[in-house]
A and B are shown apart, each in its own frame.
Chain A
């Protein structure tokens, strides 16, 4: 609790510094409030920031000390699979990685979302339509192996990337309920299974 208010205070300070004045920041918040409306599943409250979102809304990332506090808080949100099974079906994982659908105001429900992985990452040997905002994940499992440590880290990274880099561009797929636990298991198989085209040529 103490940590959360510290982030808020620090974020407030950095936002105000960026704006040049508290008045301008108040005007900015009023502008955001007046400029957006609820459409479909995209409710207006989406415009109100979480503390870490606010801290990560400057031209530059906040101080390392602030990022460390955020990362510690975000790490606590990660739920590892209850049955201890980390891997699903890589073929299902590929479909989830390719699909960028979900959570827009033109989507009928907040469920059945894609992972949108290929928007930002290279993954398999076959798919040429990949983005470059995130690092290449080609041969992910082949390069890194499948130790308990790397498996657990990868699950955590997919579940909540902000636990490892406070202002990461990557969404909190598990924490923000973008993907289900089962979908994350399929993605894990896609990354680690030796038969997956991520690892097999």
Chain B
């Protein structure tokens, strides 16, 4: 299944070269081809596999306390998964922090199971506890598919995180002087053939925030939002953001608040 989809993707650029017209017209046609391809395989999103593993893991007793995550409170009450990730990040009174899905899951793992959050923070992507985290995320976000992005901006810490996230969005640094806004601060732009959502606007932020976490066809990997943001910074040529650090939470609040009211389509399916 996975192999077949990879071969199908490889065929797209070749087909696009065969089309007549100007370079610009051919580029547009190639973009359309990718959109068509996405529709074609949308019915069989490989994320389902990860979500099934995640659901199993959610119910599995493990860690020093030999407990499952079934009593985890993702913001809608202990054990409520349906619709929970559409309302994250959220200010949690018990931790006194604004948390995204992944940092909240780390809190649950620590409190319920006795698993040290460091084991997630220090792991490599798609390995060890980080791999388990990705499966849990796939499960939880599948349960918010179709819901509206609806984060609670009333608590003061959320308002502050929004302001910090907005400042981070425009913060230029590193050898290439890039910020998030360099690529996502205008409407209708592309990198190579990849369309770029304008994350300053409701529609763009909803399209960006609302379709991650996602399965990436090109790498055959499921990426959480922390993974997505990490790779954005990698391409910005900054230093590496620490897993679950405040800058990642602040940016998430900025994106989710800007995209509020948009539809959550998770897990997404990406190039």
> Which residues of A approach B to under 8 Å, CB–CB?
15, 18-20, 24-25, 27-28, 31-32, 34-39, 42-50, 53-54, 56-59, 103-106, 118-120, 122, 124-133, 138, 162, 169, 171-172, 176-178
Contact = CB atoms under 8 A, between A and B. Distances in A.
Nearest to A113: B175
A133 B239 contact: no
Given A126-B23, A169-B178, 9 more contacts: A19-B163, A27-B164, A35-B247, A35-B248, A44-B239, A46-B173, A46-B239, A129-B30, A129-B192
B20 interface: no
B189 A132 contact: yes
A91 B164 CA distance: 45
B127 interface: no
B128 interface: no
Interface in B15-56: 16-17, 23-24, 26-27, 30
Contacts of A127: 23
Contacts, number: 150
Contact of A31 (B172, B176, B194, B246): B246
A172 B177 contact: yes
A49 B170 CA distance: 12
Interface stretch (B71-79, B107-115, B179-187, B252-260): B179-187
A50 to B, nearest CB: 8
B239 A34 contact: no
Contacts of A124: 23
Nearest to B234: A104
- 3 nearest A-B pairs in the assembled complex, by CB-CB distance: A35-B245, A35-B247, A39-B240
A132 B194 CA distance: 10
Contact of A39 (B160, B172, B239, B248): B239
User: In the complex, which of the residues B24, B168, B239 has the most CB atoms of chain A within 10 Å of its own CB atom?
Assistant: B239
B13 interface: yes
Contacts of A37: 239-240, 242
B237 A36 contact: no
Contacts of B242: 34-37
User: Which size class do B's interface residues fall under?
Assistant: 35 or more
Nearest to A43: B239
Contacts of A104: 234-235, 237
Contacts of B123: none
13 contacts: A15-B167, A20-B163, A35-B241, A36-B238, A36-B247, A37-B239, A46-B174, A49-B171, A105-B234, A128-B17, A129-B27, A133-B182, A138-B23
A20 B193 CA distance: 38
User: In the complex, which of the residues B160, B175, B193 has the most CB atoms of chain A within 10 Å of its own CB atom?
Assistant: B175
Nearest to B167: A28
Nearest to A52: B177
Contacts of A25: 167
Contacts of A169: 178, 182
A131 B190 contact: yes
Contacts of A56: 172, 177
B191 interface: yes
A47 B27 contact: no
B175 A133 contact: no
B170 A133 contact: no
A35 B183 contact: no
User: In the complex, which of the residues B17, B192, B193 has the most CB atoms of chain A within 10 Å of its own CB atom?
Assistant: B192
